[in-house]
Structure 1
Amino acid sequence: MSKKPLIISTDPGIDDVAAMTISFFADELDVKMIVPTWGNVSLEHTLQNTLDLENFLHTKVPVVKGANQPLVRSAISAASVHGETGIAGFEFEKASDELLEPGLAATKMYETIKNSPEKVTLLGVGPLTDFALLFKQYPDVVENIAEVYIMGGNIGHGNHSPFAEYNIAGDPEAAQIVFHSGLPVYVAPLEIGDKAHLTQDQMDKIKECGEVGKMLYSMFSNIHEPDGDTRIKIYDPTAVGIMLHPEFFTLKPANVEIELAGRYTYGASVMDFLSEKHNAQIATDVDTEKFAAWFIDSIKTANNGRK
């Protein structure tokens, strides 16, 4: 079976760790590069978290340092949700930087994509700064990209502000560039992560999935949602789910614009499902039982694949 070549931009972050773990060991995927970016916490922490995760999982995917701030405005932080280092609840052994490759993320991504015999897929589960820089620096790269999968945006209310979801609010200008790249874009919005939550029974099953399951159980048990909701919501892995199992989701075409000027709505994702033109496919519903079963099986697969 031909594997889908994949580049991941991420800001780990607890749910980012889950999305990366699943992607590393998925039979359908060949992860070519990880680009940690600022986001949930600073680049210093997201980079080290990525290296530490790979050391824990015994994977060898190259890591390239991404952006340390948004394109235009000051960085925001979600340390109150994910902990000061981004991964509250579990302490990895600190890894060396042997997987870290020198160079600018946009250039390294461009070289990897252009040298790939197959079109490469992009997965963005943090602010989209590095993908925006890639498209602006190397506009011809879109010819060699298959599609983009994003966890971000919101159909209704946000979780960073009343109208903006965190990943998009982190760098709205970058998100606007990605949505207008001309590429097929698939979106797992905030509402899908809210719906694709895990029950305590399902969390207990994850805890039983060896060392990888215990690691994720510890992290997810330490998420502190700003709204006080105690459910274990699964945000970033839903984008991986759409990529690998679109049949679990209801996808609807929409034209997406990011609000860049509003005083109270800056960073809002304006998803117009009635527009005659569309630039994205938005997940509007998910089969929670099928998603949860896949999620748990994926953690088992990761634990079994960890040498």
Structure 2
Amino acid sequence: MIVVFPDYTISAFPCHLSSSVLYYSMVIFDNGRFGTLVNIQKKLALLVAGLICACTFSIPGISGAAAGETAGAPSLVFDSDPGSDDALALFLMKQRQVVPDLVLATYGNAPEKQTSSNLVLVLGDLELDLPVYHGADRPWKGKKPRYREPGFNGKDGLLGLSDTFRDKNEKNGRKLVQPGSLEEAREKLKQHRHITYVATGPLSTLAVLVQDPDIKSRIDQVYILGGQLAAPDPETLGEANFAWDPKAVKIVMESGLDITLFPVELTGTQYIEEEELQNLSRQGTWPEFLDLIRANQAAHAKTGEENAAVLPAIFPVLYQLAPEQFAVEDRRITVDKNGQLQENPQGTLVHAVLGVNPRYQWKALEKSFGQ
């Protein structure tokens, strides 16, 4: 490490002694020539400050983080409820090399048991060997939800394609992992010093995790898929992810974490239309994921919406890859009993992602399917 002052350049060379105590040998240069300790009294304060800033002190056998922790770049945690769009988000992560360090499955598009199965199937298909854990199976301090009717993503959560993924895993001889418990996930998270947390389903799992101060203190950023800033009626339910567990939304929003929000104003308006799907088909790769997009398109058309696929869960991934492609505004919001967001000058500050380069989604998918 080198510290430069107006008249002197001070070099610090570490040398480890047998007593495992670190000392620094200092050599001082005067205008480029080896000299003596001239005016060292005048430079002592600057020297100490410089060494503290420029050098990382280490003692053999002891890391800078607590025992068992991983330092360096923030670890990526992906908490989802797969979900056709969640499966495509994992596909993009694999293809664009932003692979999570830990993944959790939360109830939402299907019961948690099914979403955990879907998560394992998709990871197996992508040949991603990651730590997988069960997330919350119910809202915050609530009961397990009953799924009387299949939701948008069908009974299996993957628009009827879970067997396709299962068959491919079996054909390729992939041994599917068994997810660990939420308690095991809690302990695993404590091994990561800095965490970026992406949540694309209900916020119930994250609400549980932030009750632990040791975990909460490690979360640097949270990317949340959900919410609607222009709520049409405060008496109606909020956007789907937030409506599942309004109490969890309130807990997370008031947690003090640095939150970037991807509301329906962004995600509900980004279509993948027929022409683009045909271009992807010509790539001839990853047919099971193309089938997911096709099934998503058909499900939207069946409900009378635009004959196009909509993949909300991919946007937090795309944002990490190229934030400059997005328009972001800081907003202050509160959460009501139904999970509706309301702008309030005294509310929680969030970074709301409200716009995107209209060709960015398509180009990212085209590149991923072309690999």
**Bin of the TM-score, shorter chain as denominator length:** 0.7 to 0.9
SS in 2 for 1:291: helix
Matched letter for residue 128 of structure 1: L
Aligned-residue offset at 1:102:
3.0
8 Å contact kept, 1:121–1:148: yes
Distance change (3 Å), C-alpha of 1:65 and 1:97? farther
8 Å contact kept, 2:202–2:242: yes
Q: Pick from 125, 133, 144: which aligns with 2:200?
A: 125
Q: Distance in 1 between matches of 2:367 and 2:285?
A: 14
Distance change (3 Å), C-alpha of 1:7 and 1:36? same
Matched letter for residue 298 of structure 1: S
The 4+ residue runs of structure 1 with deviation greater than 6 A are: none
Match of 1:263 in 2: none
Matched letter for residue 310 of structure 2: K
Q: Pick from 111, 117, 139: which aligns with 2:213?
A: 139
Match of 1:99 in 2: 177
Match of 1:268 in 2: 340
Distance change (3 Å), C-alpha of 1:177 and 1:99? same
Aligned-residue offset at 1:13:
0.8
1:116 aligns with 2:192: yes
Q: Distance in 1 between matches of 2:292 and 2:238?
A: 25
The share of aligned pairs that are identical, in percent, is: 21
Q: Distance in 2 between matches of 1:170 and 1:52?
A: 24
Match of 1:217 in 2: 290
8 Å contact kept, 1:197–1:288: no
1:204 aligns with 2:278: yes
Distance change (3 Å), C-alpha of 1:64 and 1:194? same
Aligned-residue offset at 1:289:
0.8
**Any residues of structure 2 matched to 1:110-259 within 5 Å, and which?**
110-117=186-193, 119-136=194-211, 138-157=212-231, 162=236, 164-212=238-286, 214-223=287-296, 224-225=299-300, 226=303, 228-259=305-336
Aligned-residue offset at 1:131:
0.6
Q: Deviations over 1:21-50 (max 9, x none)?
A: 2123433x3411111111011112111111
SS in 1 for 2:139: coil
8 Å contact kept, 2:231–2:341: no
Q: Deviations over 1:231-275 (max 9, x none)?
A: 211211012122222111111111222211xxxxx1212244xx2
Q: Distance in 2 between matches of 1:236 and 1:249?
A: 15
What TM-score results when the alignment is normalised by the length of structure 2?
Answer: 0.70
Distance change (3 Å), C-alpha of 1:102 and 1:233? closer
Q: Pick from 121, 126, 145: which aligns with 1:52?
A: 121
Extract unaligned runs of 5+ from structure 2. Answer: 1-71
Match of 1:282 in 2: 352
8 Å contact kept, 1:45–1:85: yes
1:68 aligns with 2:137: yes
Q: Distance in 1 between matches of 2:343 and 2:304?
A: 24
8 Å contact kept, 2:231–2:342: no
Distance change (3 Å), C-alpha of 1:288 and 1:108? farther
Extract unaligned runs of 5+ from structure 1. Answer: 261-265
Q: Distance in 1 between matches of 2:165 and 2:138?
A: 25
Q: Distance in 2 between matches of 1:271 and 1:92?
A: 42
What TM-score results when the alignment is normalised by the length of structure 1?
Answer: 0.84
Distance change (3 Å), C-alpha of 1:233 and 1:157? farther
Q: Distance in 2 between matches of 1:46 and 1:163?
A: 23
Distance change (3 Å), C-alpha of 1:58 and 1:270? same
SS in 2 for 1:6: strand
Distance change (3 Å), C-alpha of 1:195 and 1:76? farther
Aligned-residue offset at 1:67:
1.4
Q: Distance in 2 between matches of 1:189 and 1:37?
A: 19
Structure holding more helix per residue: 1
The CA RMSD over aligned residues, in Å, is 2.4
Q: Deviations over 1:196-248 (max 9, x none)?
A: 21121222233344442x22221122232345332211211012122222111
Which deviates more, 241-250 or 224-233?
A: 224-233
Higher relative contact order (CA 8 A, sep 6+): 1
